[in-house]
Every structure is written in structure tokens, then in C-alpha cells.
Amino acid sequence: MRAALDAALTEAAKIDKNVFVVVGDVSPIALANFTKEFSDRFINVGVAEANLVGMGAGLAMSGKVPFLFTIATFMVYRCYEQIRDDLCFQNLNVKIIGGGGGFIYSTLGATHHATEDYAVLRALPHMTVVAPADPFEAKKAVTALVQHHGPAYIRLGRSGDTNVYTQDYEFVLGKSVIMREGSDITIIGAGSILKNILCATDELKKKGVEVRVVNMHTIKPLDTNAIMRAVKDTGAILAVEEHQHVGGLGSAIAEVLVENGVMIPFLKLGVKDTFVHEYGSRDHLLEQVGLGVSHIVQAAEYLCARKR
Amino acid sequence: MTDVGTLKKFRAKIIDMAVRSGSAHIAPAFSCLEIVYTLYTKIMRVNPKNPRWEDRDRFILSKGHGGLAQYVVLAHLGFFSNSLLDGYAQPGSMLGGHVTLGASGIEASTGSLGHGLAMGEGVAYAAKYDKKSHRAFVVMSDGECQEGSTWEAIMGASSFKLDNLVAVVDHNHVQSCGPIKDVLPSFDPLSDKWRAFGWAVREVKDGHNVKELESILKEVPFEKGKPSVVIAHTVKGKGVSFMENVPIWHYRVTNPEETKQAYKELGQEVAIDK
């Protein structure tokens, strides 16, 4: 996704002379085009996340549109108060980009697993939270956020991510995308986990279960209409997220259901209140925490059975 | 009115505002009052009639709990009316216990320590990039020089050679729980720390002496290519004898008897028992 980010930011900088990129000592190689073309609008503050955000706020106070970038866990947790007070409280036009969302850094241990970012960021007033499914969507998300005024977070995957989109579509912040149509159940997800959801959907189809897949790329503001349509059209919802099962996308969907008095078969799959003490590929970790393709299939079948 | 007379009047007004609202950081406002006053009236380029003037110097009160000092100075200069002061920290007021965007002349919301300098750094960086001559002035507490985020910003600003950034540390030597030398013995030498991080440093022996503050602040930047910091030695609670250097006045509000005594010391005839 980093190549997509580089392309989107470079394009944005060509159009808007106020676009800056400020990084916390993450690989300039990932942003090779931007740094080559706009070296005067590229700042590396070093390993100093509080300063990254505070300085970003100051740039925005002077009319700049800074995109701040570092590894997701550092971007979100180390400087959460700066994000809250400097960016959100002042409603400044600063975008924060977290690289390696979820278990992307699968071999690096739990300090590098960004699995609480949706929860803590969606709690902040003014904040927009976006998790693109693939590089194609990441580029669209960055482009959309250049046009959007206010603080926003983008959770990125990593370079080498494969595209889950096979055709072009219109990306609108806060408006989810139906990626597969089906009437038995709706699976809602966001970010890189969409790939697993789509694999599970293919398997379920073989078993005769028709799944609607909703890509809720914007976790905040949440597309509540899409959720209520899923309730009406499919009568069961499975939320899947590469995130703690507390406070994230699944919780946000549950809030919508409860507040609308909806009682349908519903489950949220996520990390069960634990840190992962396991290494290996991201797929291996997803299997370990119950977010593998088979887990999604199983949960969907369980919900469909409850419908009957 | 002389500066001294004006500042006594300000202190009395701050007590009046504290009493009206029932909540305030009086002593922290008293310790930075001359610093804020000197910057606004003698150093910075600001225009109360055009508060968003593009080329204005930017002022950030990083020690947001000292907001009362900024409010009385802004009202004095005509950024907003004196009547706004009377509603301080009361329902519907734009002026809160910590500086918050809203009222004319306020550039940044602060309150949590260790945030202002990094914002000032961003403002200064943008000004340099835009080839503008305006500067960023950040008034800080000494207590917030204990925050790691402050040192991140200190290191960043000197690395970026932001000589259009000026920090003034209101060094009153007392923090919320007591004298700094007792709370954190390794705090000093403060000037050496800033200097080691690449800043041009000057000390002001009496941070309540407007002439001394003015003469030093007029010289910024102290060195080309370096951000400037003024370590101004001040007295927490300055101007009211029973508040000076007494930690409790970090957040305490005067009772009627104390209010009367404070007004007497300040030579003011402000009505009490509001």
C-alpha cells in the first residue's frame, strides 16, 4: 500500500502546494517519488511522535495540509494526547497515516500490532477513521482526504498487498461499498482483512450460502444506512476486523443495531482481548486469533443457522 | 498609566475574575504576567483590529493554565471587550480555565503541558517555508520542561534552524506539588540543557521587570540559525505577599478576607464580594 500512498501524495502535492509529508523516521524509500519531487515539503522529525503531531498541528495552523506518517502503533498510541488535543480539539486539517495496521508486522511482536486503533480514534470528536482494503483503495482514500477538511486517520497495510478490487468504483468517505451481493447474510469488514472475507465468501458460496460483503472503509463516520439495509435485506450480520473485538468496527455496528432496536443474528469477530505472543506470517497470526478464512466461514454458517 | 500601575490593575482584575468564577490558577498567571504583557505590548507585531492578519506574530501560551494573564492583556489591547473578562470560566463564556480557541487573539488551545512548543515549531517552519517574516512566540512553564514532548520539540526546532521561533520559560521554580528542586532535583541547570540542544539562550534575572524583559526580547533571534529561548526567573504568585512561592496558590482561589488583603496590597479599589 505504500507505493499507492506515495503515488497519491505525490499527485496531491502537484495539485495543492500546501500538502506536506512529515514522517517519524520511517523509510523514505516508501515515499521515494514524493521525496524526490517535493523534498522541500518532506520533513523527518526523527523518532519523536509527539513532535510529529504537534509540529503537524503548527503547520496546519499556518494553512498547510500535513500528512503525518509512521508505524501505526507509534502513530496512534505514543502521541494519543497530541492527536486529541492538538488535532481534534482544534479541528485541524492534519491527516495521520499508520503503516502496518493490524498484524502486518507479524514477526515483530505485539508492540507492533495495531489492533486498538479504530477503538481509540473513533472515540475522538472531529476524527475521521479510514481503513482501505487494498492499494487501489488506499490511493483513492488519500485523494479523498486531501479534499476533506479536518483530522483523519488512515490505517495502511504494507507494500506488496494485493488488490481486492478488480474494477474501478467511486470512493466516497463515509459511504461503504458492496463488494459481493447476497441475501443470506452480510459480512462487514474494513482494511486488509477484506481479502480473507472475500475468500470466505467464495467458500460459503460453494456451500450454498449467498453473502453480501460490505467494505466499511470508513469506520467513522459509519455508514449506518448500509447497516440498516443489510439488516432488512439479509437478516444476519457478521462483523470481521483485524482489531480487538472491543470498541472497533464490530462494536460500532452493534451500537447501530441496538440503538435501532434491531435483534438479528449478529457476531463480531476480532481479537479476543489478548496480546498475541506468536510469530510467523500475518496469515498464521490471523489463524491463531480466530480470523482465518475458516473461522469466518464457520461464524457465517452459525449465524445463518440461527436465522432459521 | 505606567507599566507597573497597569500590571497592578491586571493582577487585581485576575483576582476579581477568579473570585467571580470560583476557579482559577492565580499564581501561575501572576508569574507570567509581565512576560505576556511585554511580548504583546513591546515585542510582537499584532493588530487587535485585524487579529487574523497574515503577517502577525503568533503567540502560544503553552502553559494554558496561565490564561488569565493572556486574557487581561488581550482585553487591554482591545482584542475583545473587558466585559468578556467578567464572565471568565462561567456558563457561556469563551474564556476558560485553560486557553481555548474562540476569543479573538487566541491562536491555540492549550491546557495539557508540553504541547505548545511543537505547535510553535510547526508555525515557525511554515513561516520559513513561505518566506514570511512573522515569528512564533511560545510562553512555557518551567514545569512543562519536565515533559518529554517538550524536549522532542526543542531538538526538532534547533535541527530545523528555526530562528523565527522564540520560547520564553516562566521559570518560577515552583510546581504544583512544591519547589522544583525538591520534586525533581536534576531539573537544573535548565539553561545548559537548552543550550546543549542547540538553542540560543538568555536569562532574565527578574522576569517581572518589563524593561529587562523588553531589552532582551528585542534582540531575538539571539543567533542566526538558532531558535531563541529566554529563561525568565519569576516568582510564582508575584505581587501578593501571601501567594508568593506558596504552592497551594497554584490553583487556590482567595476567600473574601484574602481577596480584600490582595486588593489592598495591589492598591486597588475593586469591589469585592461579587
One-letter identity of residue A230: A
Closest CA to A67 of A84, A47, A46, A87: A87
Helices A49-61 and B116-129: angle between axes, nearest 10 degrees: 50
- Distances in Å between the Cα of B52 and the Cα atoms of A7, A61, B48 are 35, 11, 9
Question: Confidence class of residue A158 from pLDDT cuts 50, 70 and 90?
Answer: confident
Q: How far is B143 from chain A (nearest CA, A)?
A: 18
Closest CA to B224 of B169, B164, B157, B166: B164
DSSP lists the bridge partners of residue A215 as A177, A189
Given a contact cutoff of 8 angstroms between Cβ atoms, the answer to whether B70 and B76 are in contact is: no
Q: How far is B11 from chain A (nearest CA, A)?
A: 29
Could you tell me which CATH number the domain at A177-307 has? 3.40.50.920
At residue B154, φ and ψ (nearest 5 deg) are: -60, -45
Q: How far is A221 from chain B (nearest CA, A)?
A: 25
Closest CA to A188 of A222, A214, A225: A214
Read off the pLDDT of residues A144-153 as tens digits, 9 standing for 90 and up.
Answer: 999 999 999 9
Q: What is the pLDDT of residue B272?
A: 47
Q: Which residue of B has its CA nearest to A79?
A: B149
Q: What is the pLDDT of residue A269?
A: 98
Closest CA to A3 of A105, A156, A118: A156
Of A43, A58, A85, nearest to B123 by CB-CB distance is A58
Under CATH, which architecture does the A2-155 domain have? Answer: 3-Layer(aba) Sandwich (3.40)
C-alpha cell recorded at residue B203: 536569562
Q: How far is A252 from chain B (nearest CA, A)?
A: 29
Q: Which residue of B has its CA nearest to A78?
A: B149
Q: How far is B188 from chain A (nearest CA, A)?
A: 23
Q: Which residue of B has its CA nearest to A57?
A: B119
Q: Do A58 and B126 touch (CB under 8 A)?
A: yes
The ipTM of this complex is 0.96
Length of chain B (residues)? 274
Give the 3-state secondary structure of B193-252.
Answer: HHHHCCCEEEEECCCCCHHHHHHHHCCCCCCCCCCEEEEEECCCCCCCCCCCCCHHHHCC
Q: What is the pLDDT of residue A159?
A: 64
- Distances in Å between the Cα of B114 and the Cα atoms of A51, A92, A161, B139, B143 are 10, 18, 38, 11, 9
Q: What is the pLDDT of residue B269?
A: 67
Q: Are strands A218-220 and A211-215 parallel, antiparallel or unpaired?
A: unpaired
Q: What is the pLDDT of residue B253?
A: 96
Closest CA to A130 of A198, A85, A72, A212: A72
Q: What is the pLDDT of residue A160?
A: 67
Q: Do A55 and B119 touch (CB under 8 A)?
A: yes
Given a contact cutoff of 8 angstroms between Cβ atoms, the answer to whether A269 and A239 are in contact is: yes
Q: Do B109 and A58 touch (CB under 8 A)?
A: no
Question: Taking the CA of residue B8 as centre, how many other CA atoms within 13 Å lie in the half-sphere pointing to its CB?
Answer: 13
C-alpha cell recorded at residue B196: 546543549
User: Looking at the whole model, is its pTM more than 0.90?
Assistant: yes
Read off the pLDDT of residues A79-99 as tens digits, 9 standing for 90 and up.
Answer: 999 999 999 999 999 999 999
Q: Do A55 and B109 touch (CB under 8 A)?
A: no
- Distances in Å between the Cα of A143 and the Cα atoms of A76, A156, A173 are 21, 14, 10
Read off the pLDDT of residues A271-305 as tens digits, 9 standing for 90 and up.
Answer: 999 999 999 999 999 999 999 999 999 999 999 99
Domain edges within chain A: 2-155, 177-307
Residues of B in contact with A56 (CB under 8 A): 122
Q: Which residue of B has its CA nearest to A84?
A: B112
The CB density around residue A294, as the number of other CB atoms within 10 Å, is 13
Positions of chain B with pLDDT lower than 70, given as ranges = 269-274
The H-or-E segment that residue B30 falls in is: helix B26-38
Given a contact cutoff of 8 angstroms between Cβ atoms, the answer to whether B259 and B19 are in contact is: yes
Distance of CA B30 to the CA centre of its chain: 9
Q: Are strands A177-180 and A211-215 parallel, antiparallel or unpaired?
A: antiparallel
Question: Confidence class of residue A28 from pLDDT cuts 50, 70 and 90?
Answer: confident
The reply to whether A65 touches chain B by the CB within 8 Å rule is no
The domains spanning A2-155 and A177-307 adopt the same CATH topology: yes
Q: What is the pLDDT of residue B274?
A: 41
Residues of A in contact with B58 (CB under 8 A): 61
At residue B106, φ and ψ (nearest 5 deg) are: -85, 125
C-alpha B35/C-alpha B39 separation (Å) is: 6
Where do the domains of chain B lie, and which CATH numbers do they carry?
Answer: 3-266 (3.40.50.970)
The reply to whether A55 touches chain B by the CB within 8 Å rule is yes
Q: Do A57 and B130 touch (CB under 8 A)?
A: no
Q: Is the pLDDT of residue A213 over 50?
A: yes
Average pLDDT, integer, range A37-61 = 97
C-alpha B56/C-alpha B135 separation (Å) is: 8
Q: What is the pLDDT of residue B270?
A: 56
Given a contact cutoff of 8 angstroms between Cβ atoms, the answer to whether A285 and A170 are in contact is: no
Residues of B in contact with A54 (CB under 8 A): 115, 117-119, 121-122, 149, 152-153
Q: Is the pLDDT of residue A3 over 90?
A: no
Average pLDDT, integer, range A48-76 = 98
